[in-house]
Structure 1
Amino acid sequence: MTHIAVLGSTNMDLVAYVAKAPQRGETVTGREFRTIPGGKGANQAVAAAHAGADVSLVGAVGADSFGSQLRSTLEHFGVNTDHLRTTEGPSGTAHIVVDDEGGNAIVVIPGANGTVTSLAPGDEGLIASADALLLQLEIPLEAVLAGAEAARRHGVRTILTPAPAQFLSPQLLSAVDLLVPNQHEAAALTGFTDPRGAAAALLEQVPEVVVTLGAEGSLYAARGAAPITVPAPKVTAVDSTAAGDTFVGTLAVALAEGREMSEAMVWASAAASVSVQRHGATSSMPYRSEIDTQAGA
């Protein structure tokens, strides 16, 4: 079975559903509130597990009720949590507002995630045993760099989601094989609002890029090759919170299984299109059979 390692965040998502998100200084009445396990690391881990991989998560939760719930939820979804530390203090939280068009605005409080500043004993061995390492930016950058460099030492493919968007050092980018920003992150990293222009600029720093384009699909670019655009299935979105993480987790599994990039992108787009039709993060992610059905539709 394909083995995916994930080094990243685990948050409890506190989600408010509203007709329209409030502007600064405005108060609105929501219609529903949910508490849903999430965090970009946990999200990508669950997405990969649902897609059929053996998945291990490296990170931290707090010594609180959220931490216990996050760990048990991950284990329920088949994610190995042997390398998920428990630290003193609160778990990470994400405060999310979702509007009637499926759009969202998010405030992340790192909590325990902020304590992950380096690899713990055994983490590098876990990474070395994986077919791919998934990274994001909701834990300190020094840990992201340590994970990427460990993967590079052992010849493990590294896939980085640069979210939340921030400056990425040449040292980190030199250890990344595939960068997967959304179009807003790609623009923030390069200054190019056109996804093709942004992808071309990013190829000066990493060998491969997939820019996710929301309802418009995704764009792949690699050094020395013509760009590829894969459209997304047409669906009605109700909550886009974990669409990007669903895409990345599923894409990693497809690539680790040896699929060509274009086929892997179709499969990942199918998974994301299912997730946006459901509420929540980990609760929205489709299983392999559902992805196969959507991809073949």
Structure 2
Amino acid sequence: MSKNILVIGSINKDLVINTPRFPKEGETILGNNFSTSNGGKGANQACAIGKLGGKVGMLGAIGNDNFGKDLSNALSSNNVNIDNLLIKDNISTGIAVITVTEDGANHIIVAQGANALITKDDIKEDVISSFDIIVMQLEIPLEIAKYAAATAKKLGKTVVLNPSPAVKLDREFLSCVDILIPNETEIDIIGGIDYVLECGVKNIILTLGADGCDFITKKERKHFNAYKVNVVDTTAAGDSFLGGVVRMIADDKTMEEAIEFATKVSNITVTRKGAIDSIPTYNEVIESY
């Protein structure tokens, strides 16, 4: 039976501008078009797991506004349980302003909004105890993410952390993490591969963009290649990859099997525009490879 997954993290409305290139400091340039989409790393990862057929719930905060309603509906429509969704009054839903260039690169600025108001009281043991795998990122307050990881670890849950946006993480936090999924920049900011392993993280999946990823433990380092695809938008590439990994480990697949599946997921995602909308379903992944 597939394990239950809880994503604790951010929920944002994405405001996206497509542009030929990134502007230089102090420069104004004309973009090509503007669109809105539903995102936030937490919501992206929850929807990825849901679209891939996982049993997943979301614990995160939205504002009591139209963006919040849109995001609540988006989560539900992508098979994510929203029983633990928090509505915070007198503050906006989180906003991400995203610039995407013609070659698919992106810059992202996030205004946390309701995401910043999640408290320790919102992280309830009886909720976490009803799930098997806890997935987190760092777009909610760091002390809340650390508290949630410690609570999950105390209850014997598998903890998966995507350390984005990256900050230096202490030994106490990292000792609660079973699977860490950073990119090359993030692993350096956290403290480096050796430091992370010394702190007790059992598995590192280091994502390398178009070069694939490395699976790292104290005993081995194994490389996995990405597929050659026509990149349109990389916005949700990492989130969909994580969703693929978690979806497979929920079915007790090996880490190697999970990474191979996740690589297929992310390689489809980058060929499409948007965040949640770009993530494939389980059947699309199976039928495409």
Task: Tell me the TM-score range normalised by the shorter chain.
Answer: over 0.9
3-state secondary structure, aligned to 2:252: coil
Q: Which TM-score applies when normalising by structure 2?
A: 0.96
Q: C-alpha distance in 1, partners of 2:214/2:109?
A: 27
Provide, for residues 59-103 of structure 1, a one-character-per-residue CA deviation record: whole Å limited to 9, x for no partner: 100011111111111111111111111111100000000001110
Instruction: Give the aligned partner of residue 287 of structure 1.
Output: 281
Q: C-alpha distance in 2, partners of 1:119/1:261?
A: 33
Instruction: Give the aligned partner of residue 249 of structure 1.
Output: 243
Q: What percent identity do the matched residue pairs reach?
A: 38
Instruction: Give the aligned partner of residue 120 of structure 1.
Output: 122
Q: C-alpha distance in 2, partners of 1:86/1:50?
A: 24
Matches within 5 A, 1:90-109: 90-109=92-111
1:259 matched to 2:260? The reply is: no
- Shift of residue 55, structure 1, vs aligned partner: 0.8
**CA RMSD between the two structures:** 1.2
Conserved? CA contact 1:228–1:262, under 8 Å: no
Provide, for residues 151-208 of structure 1, a one-character-per-residue CA deviation record: whole Å limited to 9, x for no partner: 1112110000110011212211111111110111112223xxxxxxx43442122221
1:212 matched to 2:207? The reply is: yes
1:181 matched to 2:179? The reply is: no
- Shift of residue 119, structure 1, vs aligned partner: 4.2
**7-16 or 27-36, larger mean C-alpha shift:** 27-36
**111-120 or 268-277, larger mean C-alpha shift:** 111-120
Q: C-alpha distance in 1, partners of 2:278/2:4?
A: 22
Q: C-alpha distance in 1, partners of 2:135/2:119?
A: 16
Conserved? CA contact 1:117–1:142, under 8 Å: no
**202-211 or 39-48, larger mean C-alpha shift:** 202-211
Instruction: Give the aligned partner of residue 268 of structure 2.
Output: 274
Q: Which TM-score applies when normalising by structure 1?
A: 0.93
3-state secondary structure, aligned to 2:271: coil
Provide, for residues 8-64 of structure 1, a one-character-per-residue CA deviation record: whole Å limited to 9, x for no partner: 000000000111111111111111111101001001000111111111100100011
Q: C-alpha distance in 1, partners of 2:80/2:19?
A: 32
3-state secondary structure, aligned to 1:6: strand
Instruction: Give the aligned partner of residue 157 of structure 1.
Output: 158
**166-175 or 262-271, larger mean C-alpha shift:** 166-175
Matches within 5 A, 1:123-134: 123-134=124-135
Q: C-alpha distance in 2, partners of 1:215/1:70?
A: 30
3-state secondary structure, aligned to 2:122: coil
**11-20 or 163-172, larger mean C-alpha shift:** 163-172
Q: C-alpha distance in 2, partners of 1:2/1:33?
A: 39
Conserved? CA contact 2:39–2:276, under 8 Å: yes
Q: C-alpha distance in 2, partners of 1:212/1:171?
A: 24
- Shift of residue 290, structure 1, vs aligned partner: 1.4
Aligned residues: 286
- Structure 2: where are the runs of 5+ without partners? none
